[in-house]
Amino acid sequence: MITIPYLTALSTYFSYGLLFAFGQLRDFFRKIIDWWQSGDLQGYAPICLGLEDFYIRRLYNRIQDCFGRPISSAPDAWFDVVERYSNDNNKTLKRTTKISRCLNLGSYNYLGFAASDEYCTPRAIESLKKFSPSTCSSRVDGGTTTLHKELEECVANFVGKPDAMVTGMGYVTNSAILPVLIGKGGLIISDSLNHNSIVNGARGSGATVRVFQHNTPSHLEKVLREQISEGQPRTHRPWKKIIIIVEGIYSMEGELCQLPEIVAICKKYKAYVYLDEAHSIGAVGKTGRGVCELLGVDTADVDIMMGTFTKSFGSCGGYIAGSKEVIQYLKYTCPAHLYATSVSPPAAQQIISAIKVILGEDGTSRGAQKLARIRENSNFFRSELQKMGFEVLGDNDSPVMPIMLYNPAKIPAFSRECLKQNVAVVTVAFPATPLLLARARICISASHTKEDLLRALEVISRVGDLVGIKYFPAEPSKQETNAIKLE
C-alpha cells in the first residue's frame, strides 16, 4: 500500500485542480466561439465527448511527446529514438530524420532476446523462409503448423503443466479466455491492481466480479468467506464456480504475488487459481520458470497459468497452460483460437529457440548466465535507487521498478530531462495508474552491462535532484561514512 506524504498529495491535487480549472475555462470560451460559427456535425452528436476527451485535449496532449516515441532499431540495451517536433503546442508531432542513441530503460526485453541472438535469430530467419511471415488463417482452419504444435508442447513442459494453448496476442489471452472459463452464476475475485486485460475479460464474462485489496491474502479470505456465505445476488444460490485471479509480478508495482498464501486460501475454500505470469515467466526463478519456482509453489496447485511471450522471449503472443481437459475445452470454445490468426511462424520459432537457450538445450550456459545477470542487475539497480532517496516500489528479483513521481508537472520534466541526457524512460500516469500515483517505470534487462547501469543511475540521480523526486533522505556514501568515523 502506497502512503503519499501529505504535502505531496496536497500539491498534486492542487496541480490537477489548476489544470482542470483552466481547461474548463478554455472549453467555456471555445463553446462561445463555436456558437457563433456553424458546426460541421450536421445533426450528429460529437463522437468524442466526456471527461476522457477533456483529459486528452487539456492534459495528455500537453505532454504527449513523452509517450509513443518511435524507435528505429531493435529494443536492445541501447536503441535509436527518432526525434520529433511540434508547431502547434504538441497537438501533433512530426518525425525528423534525426535519431538519438539512448540507453533503453523502458522495454520489456528482460533476457535480451529482442535483439539479434546467435542461436535464435538464424532459426527465426530459416522459419520465415520455410513458412512465410503469416499463416493467414486461424488455428482451426489452416493456421496450425508443426511449429505451433511444437511450441505448445515446449511451453507446457517449460511451465510444468500437462498441456498449453498459444494465442497471437498477450492482451487477448486474458480478455478472450476469461469469458470462456466462467459466466453468469460464477464469481471472479480479482486483485485490485490486476492488468486491464484481466479487468475487461472479467467484465465480459458476465460473472459477478469482486475485488480484494492488492496483494493482501487476509482481505482475499475475508471477501471469499463473505461471498460464499451470501451466494449469488438475489437468489443466494451457491456459486457455480469461483476463480481467484492474481499476477506473478504486478506490471505497475513491480511486486511479487504472495502466491503461497493465496494458494493455501484457495485450497481451503475450493476456489480455482488463475495466475497471470506475463512479467514473471522467463524473468524470475532459478531456471526462469516464474514465480511458482521462485516462491516454491507446486504448479499442480495453480489451476490456470497464463503468460506472454513479449517480455522474456523477445517475441509476441501469449499462452494458457493447464490440464489437458481444460486446454481441449478452450480449443473448442475460445474465440482467440477459433477466429484469430495464429501466431506468426517466425515468432513461434523465436519463442521455441529462446526457451531452449534458457534451459541450456542450445549446448551453452548462456541461459543460466542471462537469468543470473537480470537478477543481479535488478537487485543492484533497485538498491542504488533507494540509497539515493527515490521512492521505489516492488520487491527484490523483480526487473520492474517504478520510481514515484506523483505531481503531473514532474511527469514530462523527468521524461524530457532524461531523454536530453540520452536515457529513455517510460513515464506512466492516469488512466494506467490512479490519478495521484504517477510514476516512471524502469525495466531492467540482462543485456545491460554494469557500465550501462552506473550511467543510468548517474543521470537519474541528477534529474531526480533537478525535478525534486527524491522523497527520502539519501544514504551517506562510503567516503562520507569513513570521514565521519575519522572525526
Which residue ranges make up each domain of the chain? 77-106+369-486, 120-359
Q: Among 115-129, 341-355, 422-436, which stretch is predicted with the lowest mean pLDDT?
A: 422-436
Confidence check: pLDDT of 50 > 90: no
What's the pLDDT score for residue 37? 66
Cα 146 to the center of its chain, rounded Å: 30
Angle at which helices 345-359 and 366-388 cross, to 10°: 90
Distance CA 423, CA 30 (A): 39
Please tell me the pTM assigned to this model.
0.92
Q: Among 15-29, 54-68, 470-484, which stretch is predicted with the lowest mean pLDDT?
A: 470-484
Mean pLDDT, rounded, for 164-191? 96
182 dihedral zone (left: phi>0; alpha: psi -120 to 50; beta): beta
Nearest to 400 by CA among 366, 377, 431: 377
In angstroms, what CA-CA distances link 118 with 124, 125, 353, 360? 11, 12, 10, 14
How many C-beta atoms surround the C-beta of residue 182 within 10 A?
Answer: 25
Say which CATH topology domain 120-359 has: Aspartate Aminotransferase; domain 2 (3.40.640)
CATH architecture of 77-106+369-486: Alpha-Beta Complex (3.90)
Cell numbers linked to 156: 507446457
Mean pLDDT, rounded, for 152-175? 96
Residue 441 dihedral angles phi and psi, to the nearest 5°: -105, 115
With beta carbons less than 8 A apart as the criterion, state whether 247 and 195 touch. yes
- The tens digit of pLDDT for each residue in 227-284 reads 999 999 999 999 999 999 999 999 999 999 999 999 999 999 999 999 999 999 999 9
Mean pLDDT, rounded, for 295-307? 97
Distance CA 186, CA 121 (A): 44
The chain-wide mean pLDDT, for the chain, equals 93
What's the pLDDT score for residue 29? 87
How many C-beta atoms surround the C-beta of residue 112 within 10 A?
Answer: 21
